[in-house]
Amino acid sequence: MAKKIVTLDIDNTSVRLLELDGNRVKRWGTTALEPGMVENGNVVNPELVGARIRELMVTLGIRASSVVSSISGAFAISRVVLIPRSGNDSLQRRVRQLAEDITPIPMTELFLTWRQLATTENDVEILLLAVPRSVVNYHTATLQAAGLRAMALNLKTVAVASISTLPDIVALNVGPSSIDVALIVNGLPYVLHTVSLATDGFSGQVDAAQVVSSVTQAVEFYNSRNPQNPLAGDVPILLAGRDVMAPTYGEYIQEHTGRTVMLPEPPVDYPPHLSTAEYGVNIGLAVRRDGIEGHPNALTPMSINVLLGPQRQFNFSLLAVITVLVAILGLMGAFYLFQNLQSDKDTTAAWRVNLQQSQAELQKQRVNIARKGQLQQIITEFDEISSLRGGISADWILVDELAKDVVELNSIGFDQNGISFQLTADSLVAIETYVENLRGHERFATAGLPIETSGGGPREKVTMGIQTTFARD
């Protein structure tokens, strides 16, 4: 473990810093944020939040140039998939192709990372994690405003799970606007799920019933994907968050899930008055490395560093470097040409051309930076759909499974009311059968074909659109 690590946790209402010196928690503290600085766990005002981080560091006496930080899983898309071991392309290329097929956001707008979970004779089990670039870029900009850089960027829920020495755990991080859930089985993260709450993040404690519902959904999803090896009933819940310390909170969750509820007991030295639940993410980030003493699953991919995936992309920082380099080259060229301005008219003309090219390049970079801001609206709309309906990935898996290779899904669209998609089959009968499967599933209230297709017979390669609406709870 590194001699000194500083960790950072940001949510809608506050910033938390913690410094680990060797194996001992040395300093920690929190500062409040005003509404609008962070929304749905995503920084929207990097300059102001960065200033608060710097002020907190000064107050605590923390001197550091780098931190290990975290982001919410509210905007992340995660899925465990099987990929054949054999193939003409490399494993990395096949993983990327699969990610392009299952993610609703273009790959150019995502940071993609993946970790190999297990290997069988024929397949490789992969955990895919895709995070929108704008989320990472805004977070990186916040650190830059505080005079910091990120050593690593992990998911909050994986950080909490890193504290546990148990191979199987349901890890929860309860924030002011979301509940992060991770199901760790045999030391590996098989379900990463975040439920965004319909709140402004400043309305008080998250209801324990919402936590129970989130745990139930995650466990049911895992069991549906692993019917031969469902999650054991005695797998405990590790509970972290600012407002979960009250005994009645954990008692309610334990009573309604039938699982033992534990607060974090990190494998480090810490003062008795430190709330390990409130600083659970920070502590988990500090001990995120897999080989910590006492961990029964050393070298397992518990640490999921978004910044160090196989498809690492330095979008924000690279853009800044290019802009600075272009500006420096432009100034150097201008200075040199100025020295020769009186004696060489051709040089003067060249100087003007060089300056115009530099200005054009700078303007191009400004436009690129502005485009990144537009992605925030896309991310927000994506999160609204996910929060209302439990996540797009699960719905995609459902409609794909119901297809059962009888129909081919060409495109799919999501909104808060339902799913619409276009599909192709060898006959209209096959499509009608698929629609009946949709109607029979509790997820959907309606599923309909276009009116003019009703009662049709077999055809060759029928393509048409299907519209569904979700069943209301």
* 149 phi and psi angles, rounded to 5 deg: -130, 160
pLDDT tens digit string along 351-362?
555 555 655 555
Evaluate whether 180 touches 9 at the Cβ level (below 8 Å).
no
- Read off the pLDDT band of 391 (50, 70, 90): low
In this structure, the answer to whether residues 169 and 60 fall within a common structural domain is yes
151 pLDDT above the threshold of 80: yes
Residue 420 clears pLDDT 50, i.e. is over it = yes
The answer to the question of residue 92 being in a domain is yes
Distance CA 159, CA 276 (A): 13
**Diameter of the chain measured on Cα atoms:** 88
| Pair (343, 295) in one structural domain | no
Using pLDDT thresholds of 50, 70 and 90, give the confidence band for residue 389.
Answer: very low
| Tokens standing for residue 138 | 């805004």
CA distance 31 to 42: 17
- Asked whether 428 and 456 are in contact (CB, 8 A), the reply is yes
Residue 472 has pLDDT above 50, yes or no: yes
Average pLDDT over residues 126-146: 88
Domain boundary among 308, 325, 346: 308
Residues 86 and 212 occupy one common structural domain: yes
- Contact at 8 Å (CB) between 110 and 131? yes
- Is pLDDT at 136 greater than 60 in this prediction? yes
What is this structure's pTM? 0.61
Residues 61, 87, single domain; the answer is: yes
Above 60 in pLDDT, residue 159?
yes
Beta strands in 72-211 (DSSP E): 77-84, 110-119, 123-132, 149-155, 169-174, 178-185, 188-196
Task: Judge whether 207 lies within some domain.
Answer: yes
Asked whether residue 300 falls in the same domain as residue 321, the answer is no
Lowest-confidence pick of 115-124, 212-221, 267-276? 115-124
Sequential DSSP letters for 176-214: SSEEEEEEEETTEEEEEEEEE-SS-S-S-PPPHHHHHHH
**CATH code (residue 54):** 3.30.420.380
The answer to whether position 379 is within a domain reads no
In a domain, 385, yes or no: no
Does residue 445 or residue 329 have the better pLDDT? 445
- Residues of the chain with pLDDT > 70, as a percent, come to 71
Q: Is the pLDDT of residue 347 over 70?
A: no
Whole-angstrom distance, CA of residue 63 vs CA of residue 6: 9
The answer as to whether 446 is a domain residue is yes
Calpha distance 344→396 (Å, rounded): 67
Residues 151 and 168 in one domain: yes
Q: Which residues pair with 21 in a beta bridge?
A: 4, 24
C-alpha triplet 135, 382, 53: angle, nearest 5°: 25
Whether 267 and 297 share a structural domain = yes
pLDDT surpassing 70 at residue 424: yes
Domain-embedded: residue 324: yes
Least confident of 13-17, 106-110, 131-135, 458-462: 458-462
Query: In angstroms, rounded to a whole number, what is the distance separating the alpha carbons of residues 293 and 390?
Result: 37
pLDDT of 155: 87
Q: Which of 76-80, 141-145, 199-203, 403-407 has the lowest mean pLDDT?
A: 199-203
Predicted confidence band of residue 333 (pLDDT cuts 50, 70, 90): low
Nearest residue to 424 via CA among 402, 408, 411: 408
Same domain, 142 and 278: yes
- Spatial contact of 439 and 468, defined as CB atoms under 8 Å apart: no
Is the distance from CB of 205 to CB of 217 less than 8 angstroms? no
Structure confidence by residue, pLDDT tens digits, 242-256: 888 888 999 999 999
What single-letter DSSP state applies at residue 14? Answer: E
Q: Are residues 231 and 326 in the same domain?
A: no
The answer, yes or no, to whether residue 315 has pLDDT greater than 80, is no
- Cβ atoms 132, 262 nearer than 8 A: no
Domain range for 366: 315-370
In the chain, the amino acid numbered 350 is A
Position 374 pLDDT exceeds 80 = no
A 10 A CB-CB count for 257 gives 18
State whether 321 and 210 are in the same domain.
Answer: no
Q: Residue 105: which residues within 8 A CB-CB, separation 6 or more?
A: 77, 130, 132, 378, 382
Asked, for residue 188, whether it belongs to a domain, the answer is: yes
Give the separation between CA 53 and CA 27, rounded to whole angstroms.
14
Q: For the residues 186-210, what does the mean pLDDT come to?
A: 75
On whether both 441 and 344 belong to a single domain, the answer is no
Question: Which of 50, 13, 39, 40 lies closest to 150, judged by CA?
Answer: 50
Q: What whole-number percentage of the chain has pLDDT above 90?
A: 27
Enter the tokens of residue 287: 């001990």
Residues 325 and 440 in one domain: no
457 band by pLDDT with thresholds 50, 70 and 90? very low
Whole-number pLDDT of residue 292: 35
Say how far apart CA 436 and CA 446 lie, in whole Å.
10
- Helix ranges, 194-344 (H): 208-225, 247-257, 280-286, 315-339
In this model, does residue 298 exceed pLDDT 90? no
Q: At what angle do helices 133-145 and 315-339 cross, to 10 degrees?
A: 60
Q: How many domains does the chain have?
A: 3
376, part of any domain: no
Write the CATH number for 432: 3.30.1360.100
Q: Which amino acid is at 263?
A: L
- What would you report as the CA-atom Rg of the chain, rounded to the nearest whole angstrom? 25
The pLDDT value given to residue 206: 78
